[in-house]
Amino acid sequence: MKNEFRRTGELKDIASYPAWVQRVVRETRREKMRVLDHELFSLMRDARLPLPAMRRFLIGTWPTIERFPRFMAMNLKKITHGDGEGENMARRYLVQNIRVEQKHADHWIEWAASAGVTPEDLKHGEEIEGMSALAHWCWYVCDQAPLAVAMAATNYAVEGLTGEWSCLVCSKSTYADSLPEGIRGPATRWLRLHAEYDDTHPWEALDCIATLLGHAPPQAMIDEVRRAIRASYVYMEMAADQAMLAALHGSFDETASNSTILGADMLDVA
For position 256, which CATH number holds? Answer: 1.20.910.10
Q: Alpha-carbon distance 251 to 20, whole Å?
A: 44
* The residue type at 265: D
Q: Whole-model pTM?
A: 0.90
Q: How confident is the model at residue 3 (pLDDT cuts 50, 70, 90)?
A: confident
Closest by CA to 231, choosing from 175, 143, 129, 149, is 149
Helix (H) or strand (E) holding 170: helix 159-170
- Domain membership flag for residue 1: no
- Domain membership flag for residue 11: no
Domain that holds residue 59: 23-266
- Domain membership flag for residue 4: no
pLDDT, tens digit (0-9, with 9 covering 90-100), for 182-240: 999 999 999 999 888 657 889 999 999 999 999 999 999 999 999 999 999 999 999 99
The answer to whether the CB of 79 falls within 8 A of the CB of 191 is: no
- Domain membership flag for residue 13: no
- Domain membership flag for residue 209: yes
Can you tell me the mean pLDDT for 61-82? 93
Number of domains in the chain: 1
- Domain membership flag for residue 10: no
